[in-house]
Chains A and B, each alone.
Chain A
């Protein structure tokens, strides 16, 4: 029944490794997002896809690469992990017009710790 589900919930890995975080939504939404939340709880948008098309690509290192195989899935792959990548990563989804009417639906987050 989970509307926006992310896996894994926790991820501990060593510097230099490559890892992926997966996100799936079963709400029939057209748009999906990746946000990064730092230790002070500040939320920063990273990417947004609408119907598999990249529409927001903020200034993030190119070690981060999103992939959307279909409109229900948006994965985040991170190469050569660094200590500063440690954060909580949230996936979210929305319907068209959600910015005005319905807001976003967020997943429960993936806590990434790079050691």
Chain B
């Protein structure tokens, strides 16, 4: 079945460091890919998305490119801030399939 695999955390970085969180997927057909962020004590919020191969999703300085050839959707940010500390989830969705698949989540801690 369809699935998403994320790099295991936790990830700890200093402020202004470069961030990469790896995400790979397994799916038939043409899935859309998403990154969600969960801040402490809150629900998941959609961070960015890409609906087809080679699309780049971006938001709040975060970027991810849908790579069909490597079945990947890695999340990157050039310079992280303390306020980026959160849990990040990669997810996969397919049309007319109401069961969106989430990765296990990666906890990011950014230290001043």
Chain A residues near B (Cβ < 8 Å): 4, 31, 33, 40-43, 45, 48, 50, 55-56, 90, 92, 94, 97-109
Contacts and interface: CB of A to CB of B under 8 A. Distances in A.
Contacts of A108: 41-43
Q: Is the interface of B mostly helix, strand, loop or mixed?
A: strand
Contact of A100 (B36, B51, B89, B107): B51
B43 A103 contact: no
A98 B93 contact: yes
Interface centre among A4, A43, A45 (most CB of B within 10 A): A43
A99 B43 contact: no
Interface centre among A56, A104, A109 (most CB of B within 10 A): A104
B99 A100 contact: no
A50 B96 CA distance: 12
